[in-house]
Amino acid sequence: MIRSRRIKILATLGPASNTEEMIKKLCLAGADAFRINMSHSSHEMLSDLVRRIRNVEKEVGFPIGILADIQGPKHRLGTFANGEVAVQPGHVITLDSDPTPGDAYRVQLPHPEILEAMEIGHRLLVNDGKVKLKVIETGDGWAKAEVVNGTWLADRKGVNLPDSELMSGALTEKDRADLQAVLKEEVDWVALSFIQRPEDLAEARKICKGKVGLLAKIEKPQAVQRLDEIIEMADAIMVARGDLGVEMPLEVVPSIQKKMIRKCRRAGRPVIVATQMLESMIDNPVPTRAEVSDVANAVYEGADAIMLSAESAAGSYPLEAVQTMNSVAEAMEADKGYLDTIASQRPEAEPTGADAISFAAAQIAETLDLAAIVCFTASGSTGLRAARVRPSKPILALSPVTETARRLALCWGTRCVIAPDAKDLDDMVDKACEFAFNEGLVEAGGRIIISAGVPLQTPGSTNMLRIAYVGKDGKNTG
């Protein structure tokens, strides 16, 4: 299937979209990859969803990426004797480890690592920030906090900690079990929640052993402060604006989003913009004008992918949400100023032969008005380098490795095709011409530019460029 846009769409599956029929409709409407939220999915559900996606993949005939989103540590209050209590600014409540149902003056916080990390002046944001508490006193296994704003506290409400760095890792026992289940399935990416520091990726990388790409969700101030290190350690990044907008002032989130996208582009890491992009479409068949502008801004900033959450997972209009996101992205990329904007943000080439080759391929394709850039990639690194440049010409990524082609489904501008490995240089050129022609990227008489590594089948060795003429029936004519 030929997409006319470069940015990718990641759609979350849920009760509104988890049938094979609907998955196919979403895919044909524009979804390039699907997210499975392990906060709401059992291992059996995970297996069923992966099977359905792979069945659809066989029907549509192109690689589909799958991302499993690991829940991460969810911090919640304990319970109250009456289910909830009324509070007001100035009210003081003690947080401790006692499981006894709480009252207006104390309640359990069943997370000893939080009680240990809290210091005077630290904030606790309860129920997505609807209640703000400030620590005024700490002791061994307890803390007193004053209500800054808010009117009530209730059972099991979530707690965010913008000021406290927890020494516990990012993976819970549930996460470890979920990771083991994910590794048994044909999943391409794992998203890690509530990352605070680069070390939080180490345990997951050890468990996954390179079988999936690791995506770090940036949703805490501590992660923003160490963003460069986390980008270096991760395979991809998500601008997780939901919790990020709770733990940080809302007005700084847009600038953080822009900074993250630019840093990821410089590093050659795919970056996804997520949360509330078309939030009103959970209940309405059309979005607000502000939501359309939000999607458009992510496109103009050069993000690799944009994500639908509840809109496609539990909303009343999952298909319309994907169609809307697709049409907005297509319209923005068709705008005359789009490519100029993207080009103006192009990062400098890294001082490596592979990066220089990728930049040269884009420049030559633009100067000579070639039809497409075709790259052979086994590990995916050549495809990522080609996308990092954000060329004006289409990128066709040919890979003999199914997992690589699926993983690149979240990478900007790459049309991925699973293709047999080339036997030699002549065979490589023949295959590049044939697939570019069959994918509708070049007509007979047109030209393409090919990047690859020599010797062939050597991952990460991009060192060659070749311009090829495409003749009748997609045959190479020299």
Catalytic residues: 35, 76, 217, 275
| CB-CB contact of 135 with 116 (8 Å) | no
Q: Strand ranges (DSSP E) for 333-402?
A: 372-376, 395-399
Please list the alpha-helical segments (H only) found in 368-424. 381-388, 402-407
- CA-nearest of 70, 71, 66, 72 to 35 is 66
Using CA atoms, how far apart are residues 338 and 300, in angstroms rounded to an integer? Answer: 6
Rounded to a whole number of angstroms, the distance between the first and last alpha carbons of the chain is: 28
Return phi, psi of residue 324, to 5°: -65, -45
> Which amino acid, one-letter code, is at 188?
D
Handedness of CA 221, 256, 4, 396 (dihedral sign): negative
CA–CA separation, 332 and 329 (whole Å)? 5
8 A C-beta contact, residue 326 and residue 334: no
* CA pair distance 211, 189, nearest whole angstrom: 9
- CA distances to 257, 369, 438, 439, 457 from 451, rounded to whole Å, are 32, 16, 19, 18, 13
Residues 297, 312: Cα–Cα separation, whole Å: 21
The answer to whether the beta carbons of residues 411 and 383 sit under 8 Å apart is yes
Hunting for tokens 């809307």 — which residue is that?
324
User: How far is the C-alpha of 191 from the C-alpha of 171, rounded, in Å?
Assistant: 11
Residue where the block lists tokens 């990718």: 8
Q: Where are the beta strands (DSSP E) in 327-461?
A: 372-376, 395-399, 414-418, 447-453
